[in-house]
Structure 1
Amino acid sequence: MKKGYLANGLFGLGDRLINELVAKEVRAAIPGVDLYVPQENMAINDKAAYADSLAIARADMKALKESDFLVAVIDGVEIDAGVAAEIGAFSMLDRPIFGLYTDTRQQGRDNTKKIDALVADGTENQFMYRNLFVVGLIKQNGMIVNSVEQLGEALKNTKL
């Protein structure tokens, strides 16, 4: 049985809903997968209870070490700090990482008006920046996809 890990923020409603959607897609793409979704681990993420930093680190690192692949949502103003840490830790295992980056500002990269505006005035940046170190860690052993559907296809077409 394949094991996977889903990395994303989990505190806001939007993140929790995205996690449910992505987990559903991963589980459909790899039937029988044992997918670790931190928000589903109530031992460390029941916010009415208590788990200290060491308990959280131990639980998540154990799941990372046991996983065959990582799915990391890299949307947001910045890549979530926890997600970036999970990508960094998992990259040391030389196993596949699938970055999910759905930001609509990726569209229009060939629009010369956008590029000319950026060249003329750096504050007219109509594109998003992702930390290149983190992007490189993903690309070393994996890929970045732009939709949940592309993620499902990538998972189906990658030997895990």
Structure 2
Amino acid sequence: MHLYFAAPLFSESDVLFNAQLAKAIREKYPDHTIYLPQENAAINDKQAYADSKMIALADTAEVQKSQLMIALLDGLTIDPGVASEIGIAYASGIPVVALYTDSRQQGAMNQQKLTALQTIGENQFHYANLYTIGLIKLNGAIYASTSELLLGLDQYLKERDV
């Protein structure tokens, strides 16, 4: 099975986390291939040059040949490239398992946090674009921790007898 790993890749912390998670998945599922865009030097070596069409064509081709997408949603907003890749996956019928670890999602039953929503500027929760979230939920799932994501990935792969 070919998996597409959609994630931000512009900071050292992004690159290291992506590599670490991809390595764990590759070790657990050695018969599956993972396309991690940051490893494609032809379009993502930032010392070199790739124009927007080269990047769009290369990554779109990889999304469309995948049977599953793993998407990382963390950040101030969902990374625009990741959101675009999720849209292509949805339009292509490719399921998405996503990781959204933002700690501000905790405390959903805390009355003080809920009351604060009534005061302008006091939202205690992180906002993620609901259109993108909806595309994932229509054909996949979102997990709040790496361990939950790995369990969800395991379940997905077992259900498909892969």
**TM, length-normalised to structure 2:** 0.93
User: 1:76 corresponds to which residue?
Assistant: 75
1:56 CA drift (Å) = 0.8
1:29-68 CA deviation, whole Å, 9 max, x = no partner? 4332110000000111111111111111111011001101
Distance 1:29 1:146, change over 3 A: farther
**TM, length-normalised to structure 1:** 0.94
User: 2:102 corresponds to which residue?
Assistant: 103
User: 2:149 corresponds to which residue?
Assistant: 151
User: 1:57 corresponds to which residue?
Assistant: 56
1:100-156 CA deviation, whole Å, 9 max, x = no partner? 10111111111001111212x031111011111000000011000011111111111
* Amino acid of the structure 2 residue aligned with 1:107: Q
Distance 1:21 1:147 in 2: 14
Q: Kindly report structure 1 stretches of 4+ aligned residues shifted beyond 3 Å.
A: none
1:5-154 equivalences under 5 Å are 5-119=4-118, 121-154=119-152
Distance 2:28 2:109 in 1: 32
Distance 1:155 1:29 in 2: 11
Distance 1:92 1:29 in 2: 29
Work out which structure has the larger RCO, using CA pairs closer than 8 Å and 6 or more positions apart in sequence. 1
* Amino acid of the structure 2 residue aligned with 1:82: G
* Amino acid of the structure 1 residue aligned with 2:89: F
Superposed CA RMSD in Å reads 1.1
Unaligned regions of 5+ residues in structure 2, if any? none
Distance 2:144 2:151 in 1: 11
* Amino acid of the structure 2 residue aligned with 1:99: A
Unaligned regions of 5+ residues in structure 1, if any? none
Contact 1:78–1:130 under 8 Å retained in 2: yes
Distance 1:26 1:142 in 2: 18
